[in-house]
Structure 1
Amino acid sequence: MSFPRSLGRFLFVIWQSGGGTQPELGLARLIAARGHAVHVLAPEIHRARVEAAGCEWVAMPPECEFDPSKGRALEDQWEEFLKPTLWGLRIPEALLDAAEMHRPDVVVIDQQLRSTLSAAERIGVKQVTFAHTAYRFHGSFRSDWAEEDAAMTNEARAQLGLESISLHGRPVSIELMDRADSVLVAMLPEFDPWEEPLDNVVHVGPLFEEDVSELAWESPWPSDDGEPLVVVSLSSMYMHQEDLLARIFRALDGLSARVLLLTGTEFDAREVDVPSQVVARKCVPHLVVLPHADLLITHGGMGTIMAAFACAVPLVCIPLGRDQDGNCARVEELGAGVGLPQDANAATIRDATVRTLEASDIRDAAARMAGVVASYGGGVRAVTELEGLL
C-alpha cells in the first residue's frame, strides 16, 4: 500500500461488546500504523489493548464500565448496562467532549451505539459506522422491537437536540447507517448478503486486533504428536457457557485428538470439570493457533468464524445467543462447517465433530473461504476507505 496522501485525525468509539471490540481495534491499529493520529474512546478495561494498538486511549466515564458483580453476562444487565450504553447519554457526551478536545477529521463508531451514532451528527465531521454483525441479524425488521428501539433512540436524539428518525419499514440500525458517510462491514460479502445494500456500505473483509506476524504457537504437545488438533473457543465474554462446555467435553471424551480450550478472559477453566485430555488456555490469538488446527468448535461469534475462514479451518458451530444462530447457519450454507442447534446433545456434537474431521468437501470449502479472506488484503480495503474520507 502506498503512503497516505495526507495524515488525518481519527476518533474511534469502542465499548465492551466482546466480538465487536477486536475488529474495530484492529482497524484502529492499521490506521495508527499509517502515521495518522488515532484516539480511541473506550472503557478503562480496554486501555492496555488500545495502547498496544499504537493508539491514544480516551477515557469513558467510570459509569460506562461493565460491573460483573451486577450480573456476569451482558444480557443479565439490560437496565443496568445495556440500555444506558446503547441508548444513554454518557457515551455521547464523552464523544462530544473528545471531539472538542482532539478535533478529529473522521469518527468511527460501533454500529450498536445508537445514541452515540446520533451524537456524531452534531460534530460536523465525516462519520463512519463500524458494523460487525451480519445483515440477517441487524437488518431484519421486527415491528415490535423496531418501535421500542426507535422510541429509545428518539428519546436520546431529542435530548441531544436532534430530529427524530422514522423507520420507513427498516430497523433503526439501517436508518442510522443510512445517515453515515460510510459503513464499514468487517466481514465478507460472501458471508453477509444484503437484500437492498445501502450505497455507503463497504464490505472490507475481516479485521484482526493483533499483528501476529512475529508471534509463534507454543504447542503443549510433543512436536511429533500426529493426532488432529481440535480447538474449542466459546466467546471472549461470559455467556453462561458452562453447560455447553460440559456437553462438548462429553462429546470429545475418548476421541483420538488433541483438544485445546480457549476460555477468554471472563471465564475460568476451573469453573468446569476439564478432562485430562484437554489443555486449557485463557487467551491465544486465533491467528496464531488456528493455522495448526484441524477443527474449531465454536459458539459462532463473527470474529471467531472470520479467523477460522482466514486459516482454512472447518467449523462445528453451536450458538449461545445474540447473532450466533444466523452465523452458524451461514457457515453451513457455505459448506465450511456444520451448524448445530443450541441444545445439541453430546452424541450430536460428537457425530458432527467426527464427520467434519473426515469430510474432504468441508475442508475444501474452508480452503475456498481462506482464499476469499486473503483477497481482501488484511485490512487494505478498510484503510483505503477511511483515508479516502480525509
Structure 2
Amino acid sequence: MPENFLFATWAGGGAVPPVLSVARALRERGHGVRVLADRSLREEVLAGGAEPIAWTTAPQGDTADPAKDVIKDFEARTPLGEFARLRDRIVCGPAADYARDTLAELRARPADVLVTEHMLLGVLTGGEAAGIPVASLVTTLYPLPTPGAPPPGPGLAPATGALGRLRDRVLTRMMLRPWEKGLPALNAARVENGLSPLDSVVDAFDRVDRLLVLSPRALDYPGRRFPAYLRHVGPRLDDPAWAGELELPEGDAPLVLVGLSSSFMNQRGQLERIAEALGTLPVRGLLTTGPAVDPATVRAPGNVLVTAAAPHSVALRHAAVTITHAGHGTAVKSLAAGVPLVCMPLGRDQREVARHVALAGAGITVGRNASSRTIAHAVGRILHDPSYRREARRLASEIAAETATDQAVAELEALAGRATVGRDRARPLRRTRLPIRTRRGR
C-alpha cells in the first residue's frame, strides 16, 4: 500500500546524496515522497523523482557557493569553532524555524512518516509535536558517544586498560559539554510547540522511533554498543545527480581517483599538492574538484585530468587508489569497490572516518598540510603493499552483503505500516522507544 513520506534535509554537502537516495528508493516503490530542503537542492530532489518543498523560515544555503554557505566552517580556526557553527547555525540555533516549517507542511499535507537528516533537531521537534512516527538518518559513522568505543570526533584509537577507559570517560564529558550552549534555543523551540524542555541537547537526538545509520557496520568498532532503536542499514552508494559522465585520463598506468569535499573547505591548496604528488609517480590521476572549486584554478601535471565532477562509483571500477579528505561518502564508495585510500582529513567527521579506515588496514592517513612528497610516498605504499587492497576487498565483501537488500527502505516501510495500523484503528500510533536518557552518568 503506498504511503506518504515527508523528508527533511539541508545543504550539508556529502550528507545530501544519501538522504535523497533513500527518498528516491521509496519513490521508485510507489510511495509519495516530498522533501523539505534548501532551494539550492531543488534540482537534486527533482532528479530523484520526489517533490521539492523549500524551507520558508529555516536557513537557506548553497555549499557550492562559499558566500551562501550557512555554516562557513571553513572560517573557523579550531575544531571547536567548526562544531559551534554547526550547533548554532543548523542543529540548535534555528530549531524553532525548522520546527515551524515542518509543522506547517504537515498541517497542509499530512504524512505517514517524517524522515530527517540526523542533525536537524528542529525537524525532530516538529515531528514530535505533530505526533507522527519519526526516523532520523545518520549519513556517517554514528557521531554520539556509546559504550564500547572512544568518544567520536578526534579519531582516537580504542582504549585499552583502566587508563584508556578513564581517558574515554573524561573526554566524553568534555565533548558533550559544548552541546549545552545550544540548549536554550532548542528548549525554546520545544516549549513553543507544547513540548517539555529537555535536560540535554544530546537527549534530543534520542527522541525518534528509528535511527538509521547509513554506514557499514563493518567499518565501526566491533564491541561498540548502540541504542535499541538504532539500525545499521548499510551505506548508499549512488552518485549525486550532478556527477555527470566519466572521462578517464589517457594511458594504462594505475588510476588514482582524487575527491575532496563537495562543499568549500579551502581545499584548493590540498588539491594542487595532490596533483603535484601524482606528477612524480607512474600513475594516471583523475582529480575531481566538486562544485565548490573551479577546476580551471587547479594547476596539474600532464598525467592528471582535472574535472569538476565524475561518477565516482564508475571511476572506482578502474581505480587502484583513492585520495580523499575522508568524507564518509567517498571513503565508503571506495571501500565498497575494494579500493584502498590515502586519507587527508580537513575537518568535520573526517578524522573519525580516516581513523576507522586506518584501523581496518584499508588505508593511510596524512595530515591536511602534508607535502606533495608525503602524499606521493603514501600513494606508493598503497600501490606496493598488497595488504591495503586485501583489507579493502574484505570490507567490500561485507558491504556487499549488508547492501544486498535495501534495509533503509524496509525499516521506513515498516514504520509507515505501524502508522497505518494505528490510523485504521482510529487511535494514534503508540511510539515505542527507550526512555529518554541523560548521559551525565556514562
TM-score, structure 2 as length reference: 0.79
State the identity %. Answer: 33
1:44 to 14, 39, 45: 39
Q: RMSD of aligned C-alpha atoms?
A: 2.4
Q: Distance in 1 between matches of 2:57 and 2:297?
A: 29
Shift in Å, 1:334:
0.4
2:114 to 107, 116, 132: 107
- After TM superposition, the structure 1 = structure 2 runs for residues 234-273 of structure 1, keeping only pairs within 5 Å, are 234-273=260-299
Q: Distance in 1 between matches of 2:224 and 2:343?
A: 25
Q: Distance in 2 between matches of 1:23 and 1:297?
A: 21
- Residue in 2 that maps onto 1:298: 324
- Residue in 1 that maps onto 2:388: 362
- Residue in 2 that maps onto 1:128: 135
Q: Distance in 2 between matches of 1:281 and 1:364?
A: 29
Q: Distance in 2 between matches of 1:9 and 1:63?
A: 23
- Paired letter, 2:216: L
Deviations 1:4-42 (A, max 9, x none): xx2211010010111111101010011111100000111
SS in 2 for 1:267: coil
Q: Distance in 1 between matches of 2:191 and 2:67?
A: 30
- Paired letter, 2:294: D
Size of the alignment, in residue pairs?
Answer: 375
- After TM superposition, the structure 1 = structure 2 runs for residues 1-390 of structure 1, keeping only pairs within 5 Å, are 6-61=1-56, 64-66=59-61, 68=65, 70=67, 74-75=72-73, 76=75, 83-87=88-92, 88=94, 89-135=96-142, 140=151, 141=172, 142-167=175-200, 172-173=201-202, 175-193=203-221, 195-210=224-239, 217-221=246-250, 225-377=251-403, 380-390=406-416
Deviations 1:43-92 (A, max 9, x none): 11111111111111111127622264647673149899973433213222
Any conservation in 2 of the 1:295–1:357 contact (CA below 8 Å)? yes
- Paired letter, 2:229: N
Q: For structure 1, list consecutive stretches of 5 or more residues without a partner in the other structure.
A: 1-5
Any conservation in 2 of the 1:42–1:59 contact (CA below 8 Å)? yes
Q: Which moved more, 1:61-70 or 1:362-371?
A: 61-70
Q: Which moved more, 1:250-259 or 1:289-298?
A: 250-259
Any conservation in 2 of the 1:315–1:337 contact (CA below 8 Å)? yes
- Paired letter, 1:242: R
SS in 2 for 1:199: coil
- Residue in 2 that maps onto 1:3: none
- Paired letter, 2:230: V
Q: For structure 2, list consecutive stretches of 5 or more residues without a partner in the other structure.
A: 77-81, 152-171, 417-442
Any conservation in 2 of the 1:12–1:39 contact (CA below 8 Å)? yes
SS in 1 for 2:17: helix
Shift in Å, 1:357:
1.2
SS in 2 for 1:178: coil
